[in-house]
Structure 1
Amino acid sequence: MSATAEYTYRLSRVLDAPVENVWAAWTQPEHYAQWSGAVLPTISLDVRPGGAWKATMATPDGQEFPLTGTYGEVVENEHLEVLMDLPGGASTAMVVDLTAVDGKTEIVVSQACDSAQARDMSEQGSRMLLDGLAAYAPTI
C-alpha cells in the first residue's frame, strides 16, 4: 500500500452486540449479506491471512459492482485487515479493530488512501457499512 498518512480516516463506534457477533457479521457470508449491501450468492470470505474474498455490492438504486481482495493480518474477534484490489494491480487496506467493552463492542475502522478524494469516498462507504453493522449486529 503506497498511501500516505495525509489521506487517512479513522471511525469509531460502540455497537450493542458482543464482539463474537460483530466478528461473525464481518466474516460469515450469510451475516455479511444482511448489513453490507453485498449480494448472496456472490459472497466468498476465506478469512485467514492471504485468503481471498469477493462480493458483488448492490447500491440502493440497483447498480451492482464486484469487489475482490485478500486478507492481511487476521486475529479472531480482534483484528481484520481487509485488502481490496484496485485498478492497475494496486490494493488498499481497511483495518477493522474490535474491543469487547461490557458486553458491547468498540469497533474502529481505519484506512490510508492515495488522495483526498479516495479518502472521502472510502470514509463515506465505511460510515454506511458501520450504520448497517450497528443495526444488524444486535440481531445475531
Structure 2
Amino acid sequence: MIRLPFSIDINAPKEKVWYSLWDDENYESWVSAFCEGSYAISDWNQGSKIYFLDQNGSGMNSKIAINKPFETMLFHHLGELKEYTELPETEITKAWSGAEERYDLKENNGITTVLVTIDLVEKYLDYFNDAFPKALEKLKTIAESKPKTITVKTTLDTSLEDVWSKFTQPEHIINWNFASNDWHCPKAENHLEIGKNFTFTMASKDGEMNFDFVGTYQEIIPMKKLVYQIADGRKVTVKFDVMDNQIILTENFEPENIHSVELQRSGWQSILDNFKKYTEQ
C-alpha cells in the first residue's frame, strides 16, 4: 500500500469548500474526473457506512471514521461492491481493506487549502496521479462559483413504504412541513403525477404571515425519487435510499437569491428534522 498526498488552494472559505466537497451534486461533479456517473450513498455522519458507486452499482464499501465539519473527513475502505451488494472477501478486497482516504481543510485569509492523503494499491498509482489533480481542479471551480444546489439529509428507522407515504400524503404532510414551532402547515394538496402540482400552505401560528409553496412534478419513481420544479423555476430532487435497514432521505435544491445559503440550508434541514420526528414517533 502506498500513501499519496494531493493538495490545492481555493479562494473560498472552508465552509463553502466543505459543502463543495460533500453536497451530493457537487460531489458527483468533482469525482466525475475518476469515473463519469460516480456517486455516494450515505447519511455522511461519523461512524456511518458509505457506498462509493459507479452507474452500475459497483464500487467500494467504506466507513466514515471522522467527520469533523469544515475540518476533516476520513474514510476507511472496507471492501468491494457489485450491483449494490457487499462482496465476500477476495484478494482485491484484502488489498484495499484498511486503506484510508483523508481530507483536511485549513483556511488562511480567505484561502482554503485542501490536503488529501490516500492509500493506494501500487498498480493504481499512475491513474490516481493523473486523475486526482483533475478532480481537485473541478472542486476548485465549484467552490469558487455561486452554489448551484444545496443538499440536506435525514436518516429514518422505519420502512421505505412508511417514509414514502408520510412524505407524499397530504394528511401526513400537514403534521411536519414547517421549519419551526411558531409555523405550521394548515393545508396540503398533492397530485402525485408527472405534470401535476402540489400546494402546501405555510403559515405563522399568530396569523400574521402565510404563503403557498407550489411545485410541479417532473419525474416520479415510486419509493425512489421525486423531481419537481418550484413555482419560481427552481428544481428540487428528492431521493429515497435504503442502507442497512434504514432510509436515507436526501433533498437537493437550487437556492434562491434572497436569503443566505446558510439560512436556506438550515430551514430545509429543520423541515426534514421535523419529518424524521413525526415519522419515527
The TM-score by the shorter chain falls in which range?
0.7 to 0.9
Q: In the alignment, is residue 138 of structure 1 matched against residue 272 of structure 2?
A: no
Is the helix fraction higher in 1 or 2?
Answer: 1
Q: How many residues align?
A: 130
Partner of 1:82: 228
1: distance between equivalents of 2:262 and 2:163? 25
Deviations 1:83-108 (A, max 9, x none): 2112xxxx112211011223320111
SS of match in other structure, 2:175: helix
Partner of 1:16: 157
Q: In the alignment, is residue 56 of structure 1 matched against residue 196 of structure 2?
A: no
2: distance between equivalents of 1:16 and 1:46? 27
**Stretches of structure 2 lacking an aligned partner (at least 5 in a row):** 1-141, 179-184
The percent of aligned pairs where both chains have the same amino acid is 23
Q: Which has the larger radius of gyration?
A: 2
TM-score by length of 1: 0.80
1:112, CA displacement in angstroms?
Answer: 2.3
Q: Cα RMSD (Å) of the superposition?
A: 2.2
The change in CA–CA distance for 1:70 and 1:16 in structure 2 (over 3 A counts) is same
Partner of 1:123: 265
Q: Higher RCO, 1 or 2 (CA under 8 Å, sep at least 6)?
A: 1
Deviations 1:78-134 (A, max 9, x none): 101132112xxxx11221101122332011111123548464443222111111111
- Letter of the 1:135 counterpart: K
2: distance between equivalents of 1:61 and 1:102? 42
- Letter of the 1:39 counterpart: P
2: distance between equivalents of 1:74 and 1:25? 16
The change in CA–CA distance for 1:54 and 1:97 in structure 2 (over 3 A counts) is same
Partner of 1:113: 255
The change in CA–CA distance for 1:118 and 1:45 in structure 2 (over 3 A counts) is farther
Q: In the alignment, is residue 46 of structure 1 matched against residue 186 of structure 2?
A: no
Partner of 2:61: none
